[in-house]
Structure 1
Amino acid sequence: MKPATIKLNVLTALLFTASAVMAQQKPYVSTPPATSPMAMKPEMTEIWNPEVKTITPGKKDSEAPSDAIVLFDGKNLDQWVSQRDKNKPAPWKIVNNEYMEVVPGSGGIETKLSFGDCQLHIEWSAPDTVEAGGQNRGNSGIFFQNRYELQVLDSYNNRTYRNGQAGSVYKDQAPLVNAMRTPLEWNTYDVIYTAPRFKANGDLDAPARITVLHNGVVVQNNATIAGLTLYIGLHNYPAAHGEDVISLQDHSCKTQFRNIWIRRL
């Protein structure tokens, strides 16, 4: 037999043997395991119940949605009391059935209801006539849980310390930008407030946080509140506490407020 023929027969035998071995093995099937995302169906990640609650939003962004508590609509101060004496009505003045005006020297006012996590809408303005500057121009404040202050101040062309101007968490977080309108215009705050959390032993577990839109502009972006608002001294967290009132400050300025509503979160 010629060498070429011998080589051909050997190659044929090797190919036959390899084919036989492969035939005995199970064929590979490209089927993903049941735990693989490729094996899932779209409906497996759909959540249907409970159905999301339906509410009716305001016709304008500034109007209260159907699940909000209206704290002031220009008609009365029934949702508020005097901060000096909670058994007395709020001593501030209602003007033109539209807005309330701080009566300097009368003291602050606070809500009858208490709140923790919340969404707050409030509109405010300084007096039309500019009579002072710095911290004496339209100064007031919005206190969440009666402890943590979002500053109210006419910061239009009015230089002061950055963590004390409009949109600041007073003496704590400065606003990202100054979005103040002129004294002849109304300003809006839309606030998402997250109350602090405390451990069972009373120690702080998580600090309060706040997001603020000033005239539609983000000026506090989920900012951490360092603690109790203090005029003098460093911030700190007081003893553990729960829900508390929203209060508005009397800083001896005729600041004005209107269209106040709140939603519990």
Structure 2
Amino acid sequence: MQRTFCCSLLCLLLYALGVSAQPNELPSVPITLQNLADFKSTGSNWKIVGDAFYDLNKAGKGSTKSGTGVLVNDPSGKSNGHLFTSMEHGDLALDLDFMMEKESNSGIFLQGRYEVQLFDSWGAKVPKSSDCGAIYERWDESRPEGRKGYEGHPPTQNVGKAPGLWQHLSVVFRAPRFNAAGEKTSNARFLKVVLNGVTVQENIEVLGPTRSAAFQDEKPTGPLMIQGDHGAVAIRNIRYKSYGIEPVTLTKMKLSAYEGKFSSVSDLNSLTAKRELDIDVLAHSAPGSRDKFGGKITGTLHIPRTGQYLLNLNLNWIPAETNPANPNGAGELQIDSKPVMSISGKNGGTTSAMVSLEAGDHPVVLAYYKNFGLWYARSNDILLAVEGPGVQYTPLNQIIRAEDPVGEISVLASNEPVMQRGFVNHHGRKHTHTISVGEPGQVNYSIDLNKGEFLQIWRGDFLETTPMWYGRGETQLSVPLGSVIELSGKPSLSVLADQNTVWPDSNATYTNLGYDIDKNGRPVFKYTLGGAQVRESFAAGEDGHKLSHSFTVTAQGTPGEIWCRIAEGSDITELPNGLYAVNDKQYFVELPGKQKPVIRTTAQKTRELLLPVKSANNGGTVTYSLIW
């Protein structure tokens, strides 16, 4: 009994350690796609539509639906001009969704000068500086043949999706800097480029405009440009945050340190500090202080411009989950002698607040205490971050710590399928009885063996397993290295009374029987579903362009019909080419032959795609393919 209790407590603590409150952020500014009002005058190749369709297999077969919200480029006519925003920017954080036509080519030019490549790179094994997510090369006609293009930066891996699917691009860009005489003092820099959730560029310096830039000079600001002379592309959900170059700063910090156990930050007001010292980082760094302390940090907060500022405060010794009857600390932040945010410690150590601040200097006081330490929340660091008009999300005066000298432990699937058992995070929950399989075509998937659930697929590199072997007892997760699509995670097969029966969250009659290895090195999963025997298998096909999923069922008097639940999403749409687009064109489903699935609406207003397992001599098979 004691052992069970200790194990449960350990699991709770490990779960608490894995939960981290995400900082709040200010919303981005949208570029309207109700019309072209936010863009400069352009050619007829640019239009606003309601939706776009690009055929997976045929270039030049795109079509659109009337409406608003989607920007499309069709350069097949007489016009093929670029599109420029009326907005001009310096430092910028940019987010957008895009969809490529087969074999199409486009690009996003920051300040009209520095290109992030958009390209149909689906399935490319070794990405180049012309592939999707690349920082495109510069060009010099005077250089020798074969070397005219230079300083291009390929993406770290290819995570480009299939033509006709929506993809997501995030860019954090730092504009070049100039002195008062107009001379450039530092180059433009792509701080981060994230394609489909994977960082493919980081801290890339660009020495000058890339090829096909609209402007060959360099300036502090310029418009966004979308390339229009190469190929068809659809874009939606364009939004940005534009930043100035003057930062928020916290200076002249002093720490007054107290010792003892406290019930409120107001307890500190009647006490004399044990130590007073100057500090330059946000932490309770008084000598000898570990637990049972209080502190007041005073300083000067400089605000570059008047407006609404979002403040995030985190006392790192208070975990996200704690005992509300016995919190191990609390805190309060004052600006201009007025309380603006507080942490009681009963609901974790993180809080946020919107504060109206005038440009200039403001006195701040941060008061806090810690009554006892927790082994899984040892740090006495404090996070105070700020974001506001023209100011990007900035953690103030952080402690800079060297990372532990441990190398990445990764597993790659180079020449044959690779299997890895381990824990997998799925929709924020840890699954402990899983297997992940990587295919040489950079097509990967994870299965929960304990429940018979198909959890996720991803394109790109296979797994990082460092958390499984370094610091064991914490996350122990295997982490996909590519671009992940999380599936619903419910059972793939179930026995239904009829096609209108609600799909179960789990199967009480499911029994895992392990797996065999076929002649190609792929697992074949075995289990029973009531009286039915099931063999389930996957295989990457067409050089990694699709993942087939097959079931062979031997039914032995099982009551009811066995159905296969192929997909669930916000929507499921049959396309003109016979494929089914799932979850707002997140991925495609391909069915063999002329099979017609059942598409139905759930009680949660999602859509499900089902196929019956056709019985023949007490057995049946189902096969379909996922394309993304």
Pairing partner for 2:219 from 203, 227, 241 = 241
Task: Report the CA distance between 1:181 and its aligned residue.
Answer: 1.2
Hey, what's the Cα distance between the residues in 1 that align with 2:126 and 2:120? 10
Are the equivalent residues in 2 in contact too, given 1:125–1:138 (CA < 8 A)?
no
Pairing partner for 1:112 from 86, 92, 111 = 86
Task: Report the CA distance between 1:203 and its aligned residue.
Answer: 3.4
Q: Give 2:157's aligned residue.
A: 177
SS of residue paired to 1:164: coil
Q: Going by fraction, where is strand more abundant, 1 or 2? A: 2
Hey, what's the Cα distance between the residues in 2 that align with 1:238 and 1:252? 20
Query: Does 2:170 match 1:190?
Result: yes
| CA separation of 1:197 and 1:99: change in aligned 2, threshold 3 A | same
Q: Give 1:150's aligned residue.
A: 116
Pairing partner for 2:134 from 168, 172, 175 = 168
Pairing partner for 2:229 from 248, 251, 259 = 251
Question: What is the 5 A alignment of 1:211-230?
Answer: 211-230=192-211
Task: Report the CA distance between 1:230 and its aligned residue.
Answer: 2.1
Are the equivalent residues in 2 in contact too, given 1:144–1:246 (CA < 8 A)?
yes
Pairing partner for 1:79 from 28, 38, 48 = 38
Q: Deviations over 1:141-198 (max 9, x none)?
A: 1111111111111110257971111111111211111111111311111110000112
Pairing partner for 2:70 from 79, 99, 103 = 99
Q: Going by fraction, where is helix more abundant, 1 or 2? A: 1
Hey, what's the Cα distance between the residues in 2 that align with 1:240 and 1:229? 11
Are the equivalent residues in 1 in contact too, given 2:110–2:224 (CA < 8 A)?
yes
Hey, what's the Cα distance between the residues in 1 that align with 2:230 and 2:205? 29
Task: Report the CA distance between 1:238 and its aligned residue.
Answer: 5.5
Are the equivalent residues in 2 in contact too, given 1:82–1:107 (CA < 8 A)?
no
Pairing partner for 1:262 from 220, 240, 243 = 240
Q: Give 1:39's aligned residue.
A: none
SS of residue paired to 1:80: coil
| CA separation of 1:158 and 1:240: change in aligned 2, threshold 3 A | closer
Hey, what's the Cα distance between the residues in 1 that align with 2:216 and 2:100? 32
Q: Give 2:520's aligned residue.
A: none
Are the equivalent residues in 1 in contact too, given 2:125–2:158 (CA < 8 A)?
no
SS of residue paired to 2:171: strand
Task: Report the CA distance between 1:213 and its aligned residue.
Answer: 0.5
- The number of equivalent residue pairs is 185
Q: Give 1:69's aligned residue.
A: 29
Task: Report the CA distance between 1:103 and its aligned residue.
Answer: 2.5
SS of residue paired to 1:124: strand
Task: Report the CA distance between 1:245 and its aligned residue.
Answer: 0.5
Structure 1 gaps of 5+ residues are: 1-54, 58-64, 85-89, 131-136
Are the equivalent residues in 2 in contact too, given 1:151–1:169 (CA < 8 A)?
yes
TM-score (norm 1): 0.63
Q: Give 2:95's aligned residue.
A: 121
User: Which residue identity is paired with 1:178?
Assistant: N
| CA separation of 1:177 and 1:91: change in aligned 2, threshold 3 A | same
Are the equivalent residues in 1 in contact too, given 2:127–2:157 (CA < 8 A)?
no
Task: Report the CA distance between 1:93 and its aligned residue.
Answer: 1.4
Task: Report the CA distance between 1:69 and its aligned residue.
Answer: 2.0
| CA separation of 1:146 and 1:160: change in aligned 2, threshold 3 A | farther
SS of residue paired to 1:82: coil
User: Which residue identity is paired with 1:144?
Assistant: L
Task: Report the CA distance between 1:56 and its aligned residue.
Answer: 7.1
Cα RMSD, aligned residues only: 2.6
Q: Deviations over 1:122-158 (max 9, x none)?
A: 111112xx3xxxxxx2211111111111111111025
Hey, what's the Cα distance between the residues in 2 that align with 1:262 and 1:71? 8
Q: Give 2:107's aligned residue.
A: 141
Hey, what's the Cα distance between the residues in 1 that align with 2:97 and 2:161? 12
Pairing partner for 2:188 from 208, 211, 216 = 208
CA radius of gyration, larger in: 1
Are the equivalent residues in 1 in contact too, given 2:169–2:194 (CA < 8 A)?
yes
SS of residue paired to 1:79: coil
Hey, what's the Cα distance between the residues in 1 that align with 2:218 and 2:117? 24
